[in-house]
Structure 1
Amino acid sequence: MTPREISIDLPHIRLAGQRWGDGEHIVLALHGWLDNAASFAPLAPHLIDDNTSLIALEFAGHGRSAHRPLGAGYHFTDHMRDAMYAAETLGIEKIDFVCHSLGAAVASMLAGTFHDRIARLVCIECYGTPYVSDHNDLPERMRERLLTMDYMNPRSTRHYDDLAPLIAARIKAGAMHPASAERLVRRNLIKEAQGYRFISDKRLTVWQPMMLSEEQVQEFIPRITAPVLMIEGHDGFTAHWHYLPERYRLTQDIRVAKLDGGHHLHMDHPEAVAAAIKQFWREKPL
């Protein structure tokens, strides 16, 4: 199924995305770090129906979305703000989220901040912020990273003749099926006369100078009033995050499903992931 390309003009930036279906009820999908809207291409056809459509929003600097100007960063809270602005622009009063990795982190923190605006929350391979700090190294982190973005050229100037090594590098960064990796890589590229060039912002690779502590994250979790489905991959990243059980315990209404697959199981095993989501939706109708 071929999605429709969309663009959303926020007060400060233009975001791109893709839409599957024409149903009046919009499910808003947020992708992972360095991914893009193509992350949801395998899953979307299994979720939409006559009443339901899915819009995969691309975070700033990712995919076809605009880059932030110099002097403006890509902090976690910037993505939170953009997602809420986008929902407002799309006319979504109560947000029905299906999100992966960074997108799931953004959505779950939004659910704890704007609890009255979130209808349902499906998180795939992340719940709350994925990395936390004990703040012991804050001065060092600030010194190392605070100014880095402003010295970087955000635009890639290198061209590639062949996609194969780029796909292999994406798989090495996080195991997934080759077809899934190719979907993500292709949408982050543009074909020019000299060859393929990455259009995603290079500054996205600079890690944030400021992170929340686990105690701070846990201030948000009990405030989530929307029902939550958390989907873990048996071979994903969540097995290594020791703080998740306590976050689950603090959540008012949560189901945890463990399915076959790695971090990108929604791309590699879309039928099983869709079945879990639709069962959750039946149990928690709007």
Structure 2
Amino acid sequence: MRDSRCLPLPLFLLLPPVLLSAFQADCFNINLRCTPSSQPHGYPCVKASRARGRNGLAPRMVAAEEKFFKLRKDFNVAARVWGDTKMTDPSKLWIALHGWADNAASFDRIAPMLLSAGASSIVCLDCAGHGLSDHRSFYHDIDHVADVLQVAELLGWSNFSLMGHSLGGCVAQAIAAAAPERVVQVVGFESFGWYSQEGGRKQLDALKTMCSSKIGSRQWTPYESLEACAQRRAKQNMIGVMEPKDAMVLVSRGARALEDGKGYVWTADPQIMVPRLRCSEALVLEILKSIRCPHLVLIARDGLFQQAFFFGLQPFSRRWCTLVFLAYWVTRIFSVIRGAPKRINFTEKASFSARIVSMYMLLCRYRQAKGLTVATMAGGAHYAHLTKPTEVVKVVKEWMQ
């Protein structure tokens, strides 16, 4: 049934060209450029003119130091610390945040390379409930923001840089928005704002699940060896392909032997598997809009945003933005007749119209972000920083110079 609030269909068809003109004036007057021949090392980028971080020299480090930060009584956050935390240049002091269900070892391959590329110190945190950090009763993504800022206080860092993978990148972006005077630069690997969820039935269902889940009732299934853990972790990877040798990097910190010696279980809190409340899209847009420092987002063609690579177009390029904008309004026209398509997860197989709705959401996020550089990699999947560390460090180094 047609919505009485909508314009008559013939008049509605005139909207896309009119809105496109306004869209182009708004979106493309921020000095964007994407020239394939000018991109370094074959990594196509979409850049907005903005001052970036500086590169320098740093001593080579071959080992990390284990540290624990006491945030509250009986609550500690673990970290792997690379380099010298006493250095004072905030563009060379990094806090690194891993993805959901991972741990600080996620950065074991790129941290030494980043030190050689100019970083002075990289503090790789185990988020609460992950790795060797203490557990909470329940988990919400926003809670990690306060934890990271408290760690920075304990380090004596008034200003610092942030990097993060997946969930960790979203947390880093939120910190850059909430404390813009403290964050010098932020890098997100496969991260461009939280996967949002509007208030409604799904939020209520998640809340009910959280309330019905008894603390301590969930237990991990044991595995006979660390190799078996790595095989399982590689198999559980839902985005792209992860080899067991790469999964072993995460397992080395993410699994522990049982007290009876009969196998291994994950160190993470089983409670992290409980469906959690998610942020609204309005909050995500406001976060991206409020980031004032140089901001790099690195995505892979076979990673979390693989659905954004269509028709051979570079995501967030001028042609991509124009096509998504027009396709979205055509979808809106058909939605008047056939019903609105749902928004999908970026890696979920769905109808073309649902895919366009999701891409338009990404476009809106991109338009809100200022000082942003988007770089893409041909491979590496969701864990490019783990599977292709040399290429990732090269992109970051070029961006920092």
> Do these two structures clear the TM 0.5 threshold for a shared fold by scoring above it?
yes
Q: Is the 8 A contact 2:229 2:255 kept in 1?
A: no
Aligned to 2:190: 125
The equivalent residue for 2:369 is: 251
Shift of 1:249: 1.7
Of 68, 91, 97 in structure 1, the residue corresponding to residue 162 of structure 2 is 97
1:248 offset after TM fit, Å? 1.8
Pick which of 136-145 and 260-269 moved more. 136-145
**Structure-1 residue corresponding to 2:264:** 196
Residue number in structure 1 paired with 2:335: none
What is the CA–CA distance in structure 2 between the aligned matches of 1:96 and 1:234, rounded to whole Å?
A: 26
Q: Is residue 126–residue 238 contact of structure 1 (8 Å, CA) maintained in 2?
A: no
Deviation, structure 1 residue 40 = 0.2
Structure-1 separation of matches of 2:391 and 2:198: 37
Deviates more, 1:117-126 or 1:184-193: 184-193
Task: Note if contact 2:77-2:134 (Cα within 8 Å) is conserved in structure 1.
Answer: yes
Q: Which amino acid aligns with 1:48?
A: L
Q: Identify which of 131, 134, 139 aligns with 2:198.
A: 134
In structure 2, runs of 5+ residues without a counterpart are 1-61, 308-345, 347-358
Partner of residue 391, structure 2: 272
Moved more, 162-171 or 8-17: 162-171
8 Å CA contact 1:188, 1:200 repeated in 2: yes
Tell me if 1:178 matches 2:241.
no
Q: Which residue of 59, 62, 67 maps to 2:135?
A: 67
> Displacement of 1:169 after TM fit?
2.1
Tell me the residue number matched to 2:108.
Answer: 41
Alignment correspondent of 1:18: 80
Residue 123 of structure 2, aligned match among 45, 55, 73:
55
C-alpha distance in 2, partners of 1:150/1:26?
40
1:41-91: CA deviation from partner (whole Å, max 9, x where unpaired): 0101110047612110110111111112xxx31111111111111111111
In 2, Cα distance between the equivalents of 1:90 and 1:238? 34
User: Which residue is 1:229 aligned to?
Assistant: 296
Partner Cα distance (1:10, 1:230) in 2: 29
- Number of equivalent positions: 276
Offset, 1:139: 5.9
Task: Rate the CA distance shift 1:139–1:40 in 2: closer, same or farther, 3 A.
Answer: closer
Task: Give the distance between the partners of 1:53 and 1:139, measured in 2 at CA.
Answer: 39
Maintained 8 Å contact 2:210/2:275: no
Paired residue type of 2:263: G
AA in 2 matched with 1:80? V
Cα-to-partner distance string for 1:135-168 (whole Å, 9 max, x where unaligned): 2314642453231443443664x54322333222
Residue 175 of structure 2 aligns with an amino acid whose one-letter code is L
Q: Which amino acid aligns with 1:37?
A: A
Residues 229, 14 of structure 1: alpha-carbon distance in 2 compared, 3 angstrom cutoff: same
Indicate conservation of the 8 Å contact 1:22/1:51, yes or no.
Answer: no
What SS does the corresponding residue of 1:150 show, helix, strand or coil? coil
Whichever structure has more strand as a proportion of its residues is 1
Whole-angstrom distance in 2 between the partners of 1:35 and 1:272: 21
Runs (4+) off by over 6 Å = none
Per mean C-alpha deviation after superposition, the further-off stretch among 269-278 and 42-51 is 42-51
SS of equivalent residue, structure 2 residue 257: strand
DSSP-derived class of the 1:7 partner? strand
TM-score by length of 1: 0.90
Paired amino acid for 2:158: E
CA contact (8 A) 1:148 1:206 kept: no
Larger Rg: 2
C-alpha separation in 2, matches of 1:18 and 1:154: 28
Q: Does 1:263 align with 2:327?
A: no
Provide the secondary structure at the position in 1 that maps to 2:214: helix
Q: How far does residue 133 in structure 1 lie from its aligned partner after superposition?
A: 1.3
- The change in CA–CA distance for 1:195 and 1:276 in structure 2 (over 3 A counts) is same
Q: Which amino acid aligns with 2:364?
A: E
Does the alignment pair 1:108 with 2:170?
Answer: no
Q: Tell me how large the CA RMSD over aligned residues is.
A: 1.9
Q: Secondary structure at the match of 1:10?
A: strand
Conserved? CA contact 1:122–1:229, under 8 Å: yes
Amino acid at match of 2:234: I
Deviations 1:157-190 (A, max 9, x none): x543223332222112223232220111221111
1:151-166 maps to which residues of 2 (within 5 A)?
Answer: 151-153=215-217, 156=220, 158-166=221-229
Measured in 1, the distance between the counterparts of 2:256 and 2:228 equals 16
- Report the counterpart of residue 6 of structure 1 in structure 2: 67
Alignment partners' CA distance in 2, 1:6 and 1:155: 27
Structure 1: runs of 5+ lacking an equivalent: none
